[in-house]
Amino acid sequence: MKKTVLFLMAASLAVLATSCKKGEKQAAVKDASNKLVVWSFTDELQGMINDYYKPAHPDEEVEYSMTPTDQFPNKLDPVLASGSGAPDVFALENAFVRKYIESGLLLPLDDIYAEVKDKMADYPMQIGSYKGHVYGMAWQVCPGALFYRRSLAKKYLGTDDPEKVQEYVANLDKFVETAALLKEKSGGKCDIVSSSGDMFMPYKGARKSPWVVDDKLVIDPAMDKYMDMCKLLHDKNYDGRVSQWSEGWFAGMKGTLKDDKGKPVEVFCYLLPTWGLHYVLKTNAPDTSGDWAMVAGPANYYWGGTWIAAYKGTKNPNAAKELIKYLATDDTFLSTYAKKSGDTVGNINVQNALKDTFSEPFLGGQNHYKAFCEMAKGIDGSLVQGSDQQVEALFQEAVTAYSNGEKTKDAAVADFKSQVASTLGY
């Protein structure tokens, strides 16, 4: 009997201790308030919060602040490092997302991902993960495609059918062959691209190795070929010799680009991601609507995107996670948002439900959405690193110097390696 009493007392104490520990754990993760401070570089997120999240979460208060993209890291870095004045949740642009994912300053989102992983596209989650933990989630995918002028395809290739045109640009070698063909058949008038810079993302997407391996700089063969491609396009006059985002680059979309002698230049295609259709082509060349079509092009690649993350020291971790989970994964919200915005979301359930319903007048009625969903499957997000932005800026300087004839290829590469070593230590 005595042993029984002692056993029951011990069991009771164990239960009490366990209950106390659970209570302590629950208390530790309880939010300090129902107010979230959210920072972003885009008003896109603001609309999503105001129009969708707040109505679905009436008890939550969100204080939103937007800072231009080029100023955003300078605002975010000191508050995350010090912990003073840091936002609960913030948006991260593709150019600098990995810098923060690898920083050790973000709240792990493993529990959210465990709930939704079966319905989320792979590559954004690869980018948002580091050393086995998830730190950022994206609501969309941004696969890149090749957009071409139907009228020029008919004139010089004999067809504007996307399946047939894809054969002409099926890989990077075929792309060069087609550039020569367009130049020949047009009597020198038609350039395959307006800017050789359009080729960077497809070549980057064709890499097998990241820029840095075991703390050493690596120039993947695809990046080496990119240098040769830019030189070839320049030397053979296969490109319009303008820079991306310049007046001439936009003029090529409208059909008003002219060469240095004032002669008209026809631009066959642009290599752009999902948002390039809605916010670049449609916005800057509305009069060409219906004269475009889209194919996958020579390589799988992505360009851009926005991830949402939370500060690891947030006093409202539950609300922060709920906001991220809702905006990045919720079926009902993303279905409504995709229909309204045309954004290619990263939720595969929503993709499958919607992808057969789209028809884009700007692309002559083509279903771009279904094509984008397929393209996203072939993207490898595992090569993205926090130092990419700095490395690639230096690399582009080397490519420009080589393609313009200012340096030999060997000299340009040597200078690039030296600059990376002195600035980044690789």
- Short-list 372, 362, 377, 379, CA closest to 148: 362
Please give the Cα distance from 193 to 169 (Å, whole number). 12
Say what the pTM is.
Answer: 0.89
Supply the pLDDT for residue 180: 96
Structure tokens at 398: 């080397």
Structure tokens at 284: 């800057």
Please give the Cα distance from 303 to 280 (Å, whole number). 13
- How is residue 93 annotated by DSSP? E
Cβ 403 vs Cβ 229: under 8 Å: no
Supply the pLDDT for residue 28: 52
Cβ 329 vs Cβ 117: under 8 Å: no
- How many CB atoms are located within 10 Å of the residue 130 CB? 19
- How many CB atoms are located within 10 Å of the residue 53 CB? 20
- Short-list 133, 143, 301, 145, CA closest to 226: 301
CA dihedral 398, 402, 406, 410 (to 10 degrees): 80
> How many angstroms from the chain centroid is the CA of residue 396?
19
Supply the pLDDT for residue 289: 98
- How is residue 63 annotated by DSSP? E
- Short-list 310, 352, 386, 359, CA closest to 97: 386
Supply the pLDDT for residue 14: 42
- How is residue 352 annotated by DSSP? H
Structure tokens at 193: 């691209």
Supply the pLDDT for residue 424: 95
Please give the Cα distance from 44 to 288 (Å, whole number). 26
Q: What is the pLDDT along the chain (426 residues), one digit of tens a residue?
A: 333 333 333 344 343 344 444 333 333 579 999 999 999 999 999 999 999 999 999 999 999 999 999 999 999 999 999 999 999 999 999 999 999 999 999 999 999 999 999 999 999 999 999 999 999 999 999 999 999 999 999 999 999 999 999 999 999 889 999 999 999 999 999 999 999 999 999 999 999 999 999 999 999 999 999 999 999 999 999 999 999 999 999 999 999 999 988 999 999 999 999 999 999 999 999 999 999 999 999 999 999 999 999 999 999 999 999 999 999 999 999 999 999 999 999 999 999 999 999 999 999 999 999 999 999 998 999 999 999 999 999 999 999 999 999 999 999 999 999 999 999 999
Supply the pLDDT for residue 26: 39
Kindly report the length of the chain: 426
